[in-house]
Amino acid sequence: MVIQEALRLYPPAAFVSREAYEDIQIGNLNVPKGVCLWTLIPTLHRDPEIWGPDSNDFKPERFSEGVSKAIKFPQAYVPFGIGTRLCVGKNFAMVELKVVLALIVSKFSFTLSPSYKHSPAYNMIVEPGHGVYLLIQKN
């Protein structure tokens, strides 16, 4: 649940883009062939209409019953993309993340440094704008 919520608030990629290969209509919007459409994943993952009024809060319990019950539209949770364009490294990344986190958390305790300034930078990937300063203590 913690991993899913962290990926919701800070997805690995900031956006996905797709080119319209033909004229299409999305809702009331006409999209001509050749136009590039961008979906901003952090904006989608923090939309209060989808996630509720606490959409900016870190609440892992959202995922207590899985992704499909966490939100109204499961297609709105896309930290690794969706469908045929799903990130090929998703499964490897999730397994690697769980193993590394388990090893680290079992041997160390962490606290944010008092000098830490929360400032996510939304480039091609989402990254800390000013770095992450941690105080690490061996258990």
Cα separations (Å) of 42 from 35, 66, 87, 106, 119?
22, 20, 17, 30, 13
Query: What is the extent of the structural domain holding 96?
Result: 2-138
- Domains held by the chain: number: 1
Model pTM score: 0.75
Chunked into runs of 10 residues, the chain (139 residues) has average pLDDT values of 94 89 94 94 94 95 92 88 87 92 92 89 84 88
What is the C-alpha to C-alpha distance for residues 105 and 96, in angstroms, rounded to an integer? 14
- Which CATH number goes with the domain that contains 42? 1.10.630.10
Tokens of 73: 């539209």
Q: What is the pLDDT of residue 139?
A: 87
